[in-house]
A and B are shown apart, each in its own frame.
Chain A
């Protein structure tokens, strides 16, 4: 589920040069065209979709380097909200 939302956000806002549906979870998003400008839009859309705010220390390039990396951060944040 989380994965699908992340992929949908990336497809709409990531401006990637490849088909997001077929992307390996560990593929480097920057190597397929994610720019820092687009990554901000991805962050905004993820915050809206999951209803959380990224803490400042997670607003860095590494957080968004792959679908798996985003997933790990999203899981951590949604779990924190439940706790």
Chain B
């Protein structure tokens, strides 16, 4: 075990996993929020765009998106994000993880928005707030609580789904695990170590989620 740690950059791989997760979580949150706003907007065309986005990315396997990015966009269409092969794969992984999970972030936010009674939006509009103001002042603050549980699930899934980036050669945790297994043979303790790493990364999120939803409770 010690030897393996000495010969392979496991810490570096875990760091890659964390980078992938954090960057993709930011991307997914930004894109997901925008798509959620599209989906609740009063303009039918915008709603259509939002719905199409969600249906496309939620229903395509992440592995397919990953492979399509590097093999399809990068090699066939020549869409290189970075010169360096590894860097290019890393950033494509961030983009695909962001897009894929944005669909889930959008639906989490929307389910939160759906927990807010319709009367709240009507009251907001009837005092003259614009669509944007109603959303920012009345709807979103009340919808976060309902959105927390599904959001936390989405971020936990995202952290674990970073391992899919291994299929396009990103040297994150699953990638290095595959390499080690190939070279040294599999070992149960090794698998346990990697499983534990993911538990350590995801567990605090669950705890944070529970505390937040308690704190943000809106009394009705």
Whether both chains belong to one complex is answered with no
Chain B interface (Cβ within 8 Å of chain A)?
A: none
